[in-house]
Amino acid sequence: MRDGFKIIDADRHVLEPSDLFVKYLPEKLRSRVDIQGPNQSYRRVDGELISDADRMRDVSKQEDFGFTFGASKRWRETFADALAAKFDTASNLRDMDKEGVDVGVLFPTVGLYIMWRDNLDPELSAAICRAYNTWLADYCRDSNKRLYGVALIPLQDPKRAVEELKYAREKLGLVGIFWRPNKLCGRTMSSPDYDPIYQTAADLGVTVCVHEGARTVLAQAGSDRYSEFGRHVACHPLEQMLACLNLCADGVLEKFPKLKVAHLESGCGWVPFWLERMDEHWEHEGHGQAKTTKEKPSFYFKRQCWASAEAGEELAPVFIEHVGEDFLMVATDYPHSDCIGKFPDHTVGDLTTNDHISKDARRKILWDNPKRFYGLEV
């Protein structure tokens, strides 16, 4: 709790231990997944690097977590306590206490990349997802119901993805599925191949959590036209906008009215603009193209979609004005680079004290909305 508000962090990350897949993968598959090199310096699956960050890393500056931000002295100083504890459950909870966060929903870090490749063997992808999901459930189990996990599913094979979704929800108690918006195996998020996944998620009350990751071997929108600085600036909102177009304008949410979707870690400022642009085109029949949905795209967004905002996001009041206060959630991105310079006092504190947003709206963004989206019994 902070400043009188109970708080659910809608997008928080684990830093997976380097021995996760040694411990949780079937023995026959362990040699195919290697993230155990010195300081995770050569993270490979079937001999291929899982992220282009692996080509950039200064190995000498890394701890046991193979990510470019781990080379930052500022990052290492900010999270020194958790780093010393290898970001285990207890250290995560201690940092939540420092921030004033009561409950956190956990997303991957290695899992942002490890199985997101077109040519990955579907059997291996499914095994990686099962190993990660089982480890994540174990990680959350000792948190006194303060930590909840979002599952990986093997989208290379939609049938296996449905099986893993059911297992993650019914056996492990995970509350959502992680979904990169990038095109995978030739499919966008509106591919009919994914319909069984959406139907199962809707039936089980499992949320679809759309979340980009900057460093991927998958194609990213505009990746041939921005600098290294521009990568993180551009890829998150651009990929989210395309995912939103797929879901709201191509009929996915119309077909599955009970499906709940969140657009995470891309800010919320793009949403009012994008909804207005999609609606304008829909009202004019796509400038000559036939309408693809019965209602305008914003109808489906306001019925079934949520977005996240960092605590100090200046465009949050604009989202509230044009979209509404019932579909926005606070997200810290702990302990990734977006969190540097804000932890611990400003990751949520910049919202709890923001008088430009009504107290009732702040309560919804900080607690009511993420609780409702994830279906948390807290």
Residue 80 has pLDDT above 50, yes or no: yes
In a domain, residue 1? The reply is no
Instruction: State pLDDT tens for residues 92-124.
Output: 999 999 999 999 999 999 999 899 999 999 999
pLDDT of 223 reads 76
In a domain, residue 235? The reply is yes
Peptide bond into 335 cis (omega under 30): yes
pLDDT of 273 reads 97
Q: What whole-number distance in Å separates Cα of residue 237 and Cα of residue 134?
A: 30
Among 108, 116, 95, residue whose Cα is nearest residue 168: 108
In a domain, residue 308? The reply is yes
Instruction: State pLDDT tens for residues 181-198.
Output: 999 999 999 999 999 999
* Degrees, nearest 5: CA angle 335-219-192: 100
In a domain, residue 188? The reply is yes
In a domain, residue 289? The reply is yes
Classified as helix, coil or strand, 273 is: helix
- CATH for 326: 3.20.20.140
| Tokens matching residue 88 | 């285990």
Q: What whole-number distance in Å separates Cα of residue 209 and Cα of residue 264?
A: 7
Q: What is the DSSP string of 156-217?
A: TSHHHHHHHHHHHHHTT---EEEE--S-BTTB-TT-GGGHHHHHHHHHHTPEEEEE--SS-S
Taking CA atoms, 18 is separated from 34, 41, 286, 334, in Å, by 9, 11, 49, 19
Residue 46 has pLDDT above 70, yes or no: yes
Q: What whole-number distance in Å separates Cα of residue 292 and Cα of residue 364?
A: 33
In a domain, residue 82? The reply is yes
Residue 375 has pLDDT above 90, yes or no: yes
Query: Tokens 């958790």 map to which residue?
Result: 82
Residue 7 has pLDDT above 50, yes or no: yes
Residue 60 has pLDDT above 60, yes or no: no
User: What pTM was computed for the model?
Assistant: 0.94
Instruction: State pLDDT tens for residues 236-287.
Output: 899 999 999 999 999 999 999 999 999 999 999 999 999 999 999 998 876 6
| Tokens matching residue 287 | 């400038």
In a domain, residue 315? The reply is yes
In a domain, residue 2? The reply is no
Domains: count for the chain:
1
Q: What are phi and psi of 12, to 5 degrees?
A: -125, 155
Longest Cα separation, the chain: 60
Tell me the pairing of strands 33-34 and 44-45.
antiparallel
Average pLDDT, the chain: 91
Residue 63 has pLDDT above 50, yes or no: no
Q: Where in the sequence is the domain holding 167, given as residue range(s)?
A: 8-374
